[in-house]
Structure 1
């Protein structure tokens, strides 16, 4: 009897050893990991699943023990970097203290003020909100179409040609900038008019104006000396003169504040003077190119 018992136990022992190295498949007859779950049961009986088939699979690597969701060979302990479009990790809030959760723990916080819902990371002592720097506003526009600036009446500069708008905060047609968030913004305006006979002691005022509240938030003046206007002190001669300059202002704005750039002048007694623009905007070497520009930078 003792001899028979030994013979019977031997196959059982070998079966147990074999099971220790087995691969388990759930929903698939072709497991490719220590544990392979095919959620949609769409894998082929042989071979490597396609990317679309792998998208609904969960695999535990038989060599590393790493978990792959949607990928065949996870390279970190939990790897979800599949080719599918549903790659995301769902988190929720917890009432655990940062010390109880431990350093490196992550949670989704929906309560804490004042910044509202954010991902938080524990450093072992406190929960710290993960900070994502916003795309700062950077606007660069220039004038390549002529515009008449009426004498004695503030005129909004419109129909800009957009070179850059990093935060989609500027409307070229209306010349309207909207502050994307509370902060400090610098506006740099350069302007130049076509040559004309200008009044003695004339000036040009650059205005940075809020069209919603009808308020000039900042203005810069540039004055011009005597022009040859044909009077006796000019030897009865006339000479056209170009008026131009630049203005820089820095403003603290709240989110949603709208700003346009305006020009106000008394260069001539009546009528209007056009801004100097190129006749060929595709030629940067054109002598009339690049005189009228607006740059806006968020700090």
Structure 2
């Protein structure tokens, strides 16, 4: 064997050894921008990871990781638990989708695209079921308002008065202003209003009434009204032994309205029960549900 042949053999073995070593290294883990990779592939976008130890949450936020245990990809996540995991501590975890002209059958069931054709109701996320693209519908948070009166309010005789200063129990869509008593429709739709009312005791005029009004304070229009009539239980005449009796007037009103988004509605009460103002019956201790004056004046609003 010549010297040249021996030299060539050594070179081949050396190249093969280097290749095997490099293959073994790449099989273990690769770090780009970091000398301390934590996965099969670890890219440190900001090159801010420490050379030893586990990077902090803020350091990981700009990293891309392919797990060496399951092959899952994490963006800003060290230990992805689904095939693509972006649930980092960072605030920029949005996924950007684009349009495609592929048929739903070609894209396959489960494919997702962003339809920008605005047909028929504007740009939407669409999901393929393997046959057609279906627009994804996200149901809005429906308006549900529950409020009650725990502060006294006097309703003058013969003048419709807005009920104000409500105590909010629930407002699912932040559509109600308790101080003014204004409800603002969050979207075009149908809304049901249920008002219950009760006055303090007074001598009631025979043939009097209480009118619940659902009123638009912007346009000045009464959108709906409900009447309840009252009569004296004791009139003060001879057949009642010349006596009168203080009586509490109360009732409930339910209306359903079709409202455009942004329409404002307040509830008003009109009364001619007596010759003067009559106060609403409210509790003297709102923290005590067993208080005998609690729970008489309430308003519930539900969006359908």
Q: TM-score, normalised by structure 1?
A: 0.92
- Contact 1:149-1:272 at 8 Å conserved across structures: yes
5 Å matches for 1:27-106? Answer: 27-106=33-112
1:145 and 2:148 aligned: no
Compute the displacement of 1:263 (Å): 1.0
User: Which string of whole-angstrom CA distances, capped at 9 and with x for unpartnered residues, describes residues 167-198 of structure 1?
Assistant: 10011111111111122211111111111111
For 2:190, the equivalent position in structure 1 comes to 184
For 1:18, the equivalent position in structure 2 comes to 21
Q: Give the secondary-structure state (helix, strand or coil) at the position aligned to 1:9.
A: helix
State how far apart, in whole Å, the 2-side matches of 1:26 and 1:88 are: 24
State how far apart, in whole Å, the 2-side matches of 1:48 and 1:263 are: 66
Q: Give the secondary-structure state (helix, strand or coil) at the position aligned to 1:206.
A: strand
State how far apart, in whole Å, the 2-side matches of 1:108 and 1:151 are: 60
For 2:276, the equivalent position in structure 1 comes to 271
State how far apart, in whole Å, the 1-side matches of 2:152 and 2:52 are: 70
For 1:171, the equivalent position in structure 2 comes to 177
Compute the displacement of 1:142 (Å): 0.8
- Contact 2:146-2:298 at 8 Å conserved across structures: yes
- CA gap of 1:292–1:206, structure 2 versus 1, over 3 A, is same
5 Å matches for 1:211-250? Answer: 211-250=217-256
Compute the displacement of 1:3 (Å): 5.9
State how far apart, in whole Å, the 2-side matches of 1:6 and 1:291 are: 101
- The one of 125, 142, 151 equivalent to 1:136 is 142
- The one of 286, 289, 293 equivalent to 1:284 is 289
Compute the displacement of 1:6 (Å): 4.2
User: Which string of whole-angstrom CA distances, capped at 9 and with x for unpartnered residues, describes residues 81-138 of structure 1?
Assistant: 2222222212233343433433222222333145433322222333222222211111
For 1:255, the equivalent position in structure 2 comes to 261
State how far apart, in whole Å, the 2-side matches of 1:67 and 1:277 are: 60
User: Which string of whole-angstrom CA distances, capped at 9 and with x for unpartnered residues, describes residues 130-170 of structure 1?
Assistant: 22221111111111111111212111111111111111001
Compute the displacement of 1:46 (Å): 2.2
State how far apart, in whole Å, the 2-side matches of 1:240 and 1:110 are: 68
1:200 and 2:206 aligned: yes
Q: Greater CA deviation, 23-32 or 6-15? A: 6-15
How many residues get paired? Answer: 298
- Contact 1:192-1:242 at 8 Å conserved across structures: yes
